[in-house]
Structure 1
Amino acid sequence: MTIDTKPRKIIVDVSGSGRIVENKEIPGSGYPALSEEAENATAYLPATYQPFLDSIAARGIAIDDVYCEAASPGWFNVSAEENRILVYLLCYDTKGTANVYMRPLEGVTIAVDATEMKIIRYLDVLKAPMPTSKGTDYRFAAQKGPFLTFSKPGVIEHPSFTLDGHIVKWAGWEFHVRPNLRSQNVISIVKKDGRSVMYQGFVSEVFVPYQSATTDWYWRTYMDAGEYNLGFLSLPLQPLNDCPRGATFMNATFAAGPDGSPYVTDNLICIFERYAGDIAWRHAEDLPVGDIRESRPKMTLVVRTIASNGNYDYIFDWEFQTDGIIRVKVEATGVLEISANAMKYVNEANMTKAEIDKMYGTLISENTIGVFHDHFFSFHLDMDVDGPNNSFVEGKLVKHLIPPEKSLRKSRWGLEKYVAKTEDEARIQINPIEHPAQYYVMNPSKKTRLGNQVSYRLVPSGVAPSLLDPSDYPQIRAGFTKNQVLYVNDMQTDVDTYHQKKM
């Protein structure tokens, strides 16, 4: 909640008394996520703002065909913007298509003070042609054949997991799942065969910096979780389309708005068993005693949420395997956010290679540039491997040379494990080519029956460094992208904390 532009944390006892348990100002430089009220109210301001009406009239666009939506402007160390809740508005021409993101009002920048509800800055610097609406409508009814004939998917008629309130049990797994406004859901108190694995895990942040530096694009450096709330962006999952037959759905009740009124999102989470023809384990032999063909099907349990943030839809799957693996999958789908441009075909203006390289995007259709951008997904994993006493271990794969008199082999590699003694030692920049390594969360007080330390291996995938300069303001704010693994002893576990401008 924000009072007098200052974020506050307020905890209310909802058990019956209605008493305010805690009410304190949150220190530091930051701001809460955009509220639904602020997004809706600011989106209507351009309709009564004469400079904007002049801009759309010059483009031949009727006000009834204009759709505007609120976006967070990021942070760029501008003193005039400090201690203000700012919203930038992105406006589109909706005529002829439901895919409004393919028809932006390029060059228009609208800055709004969301507290005073007024436009404080307006720019119209570019008159790029409006991309055509032809062929952009993604709805099935608007598509033209021929269409592929899809085979019927396999159906698990009688799922073998149980859901008791928020407790899920399946194949030796037991965990608690609950909806969350910021991260969509939180997986907690995870156990396998009665042994603790993880206290809680959730999406921490999604950093999406676009690479155009023009006046109306440079600020598009979104923090999708902290600025928008992934749970708030979640629409009800559709049975049979978003989740397979036999899925179990979970509703979410959130408190939102300045008065804390609750609202319900139906089908925010779905839980289902998945079998896609994969093999969990296999081995075959031709032996004198007879042929051996052994194979086990791979069945997994999936906890799914989907966030629809503007043009993008993020699909998050927490997948539990029978072999003890927890796999987190992320898919980015939806439609493109494009930049309108005068170019109709590549090198129309006889551009040099250097000029084409500096377009910071690709011409994907006439007058349509797909702007380069990143998606950095960060997850908070509070591990409890056989209990809360855990340490971070880096296992370095090291080449060892072999003396000629020892073997015809000249080299081999070994695994050298190092326990991080400080948090700095557990800040990892993954480079599998030059510095191959494995990573573990170890319980130093527990051993297996063979005497090995009880550990759980972390396997980061799809990792990439940020190419932004360390002094660039978006990179300062998203400093967590510098390292692909950050292990801390006393990580703040409140998933609902407000979004920090600086790190």
Structure 2
Amino acid sequence: MCLFSWANWKFHIGFDVRAGIIISLASIYDLEKHKSRRVLYKGYISELFVPYQDPTEEFYFKTFFDAGEYGFGRSTVSLIPNRDCPPHSHFIDTYIHSVDGTPSLLKNAICVFEQYGSIMWRHTETSIPNEFIEESRTEVNLIVRTVVTVGNYDNVLDWEFKTSGSIKPSIALSGILEIKATNIKHNDEIKGELYGKLVSANSIGIYHDHFYIYYLDFDIDGAENSFEKTNLKTVRITDGSSKRKSYWTTETQTAKTESDAKITIGSAPAELVVINSNKKTAVGNHIGYRLIPAIPAHSLLTEDDYPQIRGAFTNYNVWVTPYNRTEKWAGGLYVDHSRGDDTLAVWTKQNRDIVNKDIVMWHVVGIHHVPTQEDFPIMPLLSTSFELRPTNFFERNPVLKTLSPGDVVWHGCPKSN
């Protein structure tokens, strides 16, 4: 395990034969409070569920649980300097063990680097007479990266740390499609269901999904946290008190039990926040961190289908459970032999109390993959991500006083006046 200290962040990077990279003890230094404040106790990918959508005899069994069946740690590959990671990267070696316990060195298993180029914050003020004010700050982020190759797919896994306090996990897919051979050479020859797309002559790219479920054990300024859902709702104005006919407002509910915290993202506008109800800002808001999800993907399989019974943790995009040291793997401890009786969906039937507890958020990030010709024979990166963003965690913008680096002069290029 390595301890990293960068800008206002401190965190540990660990490695596990099943989960691969693990981020733990992530704390951020608060310049106003003059102390480090805990955000995330532990985070990692608990499982990756990849169900293919061809139900024919020769293909129906192709549903994979990559972390539980193969191991993200055992499937981690060495990163190529200057290709997988930029030249200024710091590389970390690790040891992995075989099934008989024999250790072997995996060089360049993880890389850590700074990424430049985005805008941290900016404003141009034009409303003050006879005065023009323009301020902008450059964003510099820290990326922790690994690549996991399971079979035909390469998974590029990033954890991005921002000086603003956000943590942004992201996933990018590359590699080779799962191809089914056919005698069809052109779409005009298709007479029935292919269960995929013709990506080249005699080659069908089968429809499939990638469902990653993240284990996120928050410690927002302490272990006792709660989960809030803030619904955005429309209010009609019917009493003639305004020239407007409607507006929207918010209504916040604290999830009391596990059932209250099962969320299908996209069904209605809402903000999802893990809070510490024991601590407030100077103006009285509970401190917290908000989940900003990617475009949601929901499993389209029926709940009684055998792959879905085993992968029932994809029934919702968000789950919240009280911490239990035995509940680490959303697909169950022994996925190979699972009949779906030891999954996150089963644990949450206990409907345990999650108010002011040490809680774990489980977030499903999904991609429905409809193959295209551009994906063949090696696909360009297909990416998705989400963000854990401070929400009333700080008293104000924590990077307001950040200075931008000096200007870079590119010799041989004319400078604009």
Q: 1:176 to 1:329 in 2, by over 3 A?
A: same
Deviation digits for residues 308-360 of structure 1, max 9, x if unmatched? Answer: 111110001100011111001100111111000010111226x2xxx2xx211
Percent identity reads 41
Structure 1-normalised TM-score?
Answer: 0.64
Q: Residue 239 in 1 paired to residue 74 in 2?
A: no
Q: Residue 323 in 1 paired to residue 164 in 2?
A: yes
Letter of the aligned partner of 2:42 in structure 1?
Q
Q: How far did 1:377 drift?
A: 1.0
Q: How far did 1:168 drift?
A: 0.8
Q: 1:495 to 1:243 in 2, by over 3 A?
A: farther
Instruction: Give the 3-state SS of the residue equivalent to 1:191 in structure 2.
Output: strand
Instruction: Give the 3-state SS of the residue equivalent to 2:185 in structure 1.
Output: coil
Q: How far did 1:297 drift?
A: 1.0
Q: How far did 1:257 drift?
A: 2.1
Instruction: Give the 3-state SS of the residue equivalent to 2:223 in structure 1.
Output: coil
Which sections of structure 2, spanning at least 5 residues, go unmatched? 30-35, 344-417
In structure 2, the residue matched to 1:490 is 323
Instruction: Give the 3-state SS of the residue equivalent to 1:425 in structure 2.
Output: helix
Letter of the aligned partner of 1:420 in structure 2?
A
Instruction: Give the 3-state SS of the residue equivalent to 1:424 in structure 2.
Output: helix
Q: Residue 181 in 1 paired to residue 17 in 2?
A: yes
- Which of 135, 146, 156 is the matching residue for 1:305? 146
In structure 1, the residue matched to 2:227 is 392
Q: How far did 1:285 drift?
A: 1.8
- Contact 1:470/1:476 (8 A) holds in 2: yes
Deviation digits for residues 86-139 of structure 1, max 9, x if unmatched? Answer: xxxxxxxxxxxxxxxxxxxxxxxxxxxxxxxxxxxxxxxxxxxxxxxxxxxxxx
Correspondence 1:32-43 to 2 at 5 A: none
Instruction: Give the 3-state SS of the residue equivalent to 1:300 in structure 2.
Output: strand
**Matches of 1:257 and 1:403, distance apart in 2:** 69
Instruction: Give the 3-state SS of the residue equivalent to 1:298 in structure 2.
Output: strand
Larger RCO, structure (CA 8 Å, separation 6 or more): 2
Q: How far did 1:464 drift?
A: 1.1
Q: Residue 168 in 1 paired to residue 4 in 2?
A: yes
In structure 1, the residue matched to 2:350 is none
- Which of 414, 425, 447 is the matching residue for 2:280? 447
Q: How far did 1:255 drift?
A: 2.8
- Which of 236, 244, 262 is the matching residue for 1:409? 244
Deviation digits for residues 162-210 of structure 1, max 9, x if unmatched? Answer: xxx7111112111011122112111000101100101000011111001
Runs of at least 4 residues off by over 4 Å: 493-497
Q: 1:395 to 1:483 in 2, by over 3 A?
A: same
Instruction: Give the 3-state SS of the residue equivalent to 1:241 in structure 2.
Output: coil
**Matches of 1:403 and 1:343, distance apart in 2:** 62
Instruction: Give the 3-state SS of the residue equivalent to 1:374 in structure 2.
Output: strand
**Matches of 2:89 and 2:326, distance apart in 1:** 30
Q: How far did 1:253 drift?
A: 1.4
In structure 2, the residue matched to 1:22 is none
- Which of 367, 374, 378 is the matching residue for 2:213? 378
Instruction: Give the 3-state SS of the residue equivalent to 1:475 in structure 2.
Output: helix
**Matches of 2:111 and 2:79, distance apart in 1:** 8
**Matches of 1:494 and 1:426, distance apart in 2:** 17
Deviation digits for residues 234-271 of structure 1, max 9, x if unmatched? Answer: 1111110011011111111123222x121111111111
Q: 1:335 to 1:362 in 2, by over 3 A?
A: same
Structure 2-normalised TM-score?
Answer: 0.76
Q: 1:484 to 1:475 in 2, by over 3 A?
A: same
**Matches of 2:39 and 2:103, distance apart in 1:** 33
Which sections of structure 1, spanning at least 5 residues, go unmatched? 1-164
In structure 2, the residue matched to 1:338 is 179
Letter of the aligned partner of 1:246 in structure 2?
H
Letter of the aligned partner of 1:233 in structure 2?
S
- Which of 276, 290, 296 is the matching residue for 1:457? 290
- Contact 2:215/2:328 (8 A) holds in 1: no
Q: How far did 1:494 drift?
A: 6.6
- Which of 50, 60, 63 is the matching residue for 1:208? 50
Bigger Rg, structure 1 or 2: 1
Instruction: Give the 3-state SS of the residue equivalent to 2:76 in structure 1.
Output: coil
In structure 1, the residue matched to 2:123 is 283
Q: 1:250 to 1:495 in 2, by over 3 A?
A: farther
In structure 2, the residue matched to 1:267 is 108
In structure 2, the residue matched to 1:428 is 263
**Matches of 1:208 and 1:409, distance apart in 2:** 49
**Matches of 1:493 and 1:413, distance apart in 2:** 42
- Contact 1:404/1:410 (8 A) holds in 2: no
Q: 1:494 to 1:484 in 2, by over 3 A?
A: closer
Correspondence 1:1-400 to 2 at 5 A: 166-193=2-29, 194-258=36-100, 260-275=101-116, 277-286=117-126, 287-348=128-189, 351=191, 355=192, 358-400=193-235
Instruction: Give the 3-state SS of the residue equivalent to 2:113 in structure 1.
Output: strand
**Matches of 1:290 and 1:281, distance apart in 2:** 20
Q: How far did 1:493 drift?
A: 6.1
Letter of the aligned partner of 2:277 in structure 1?
P
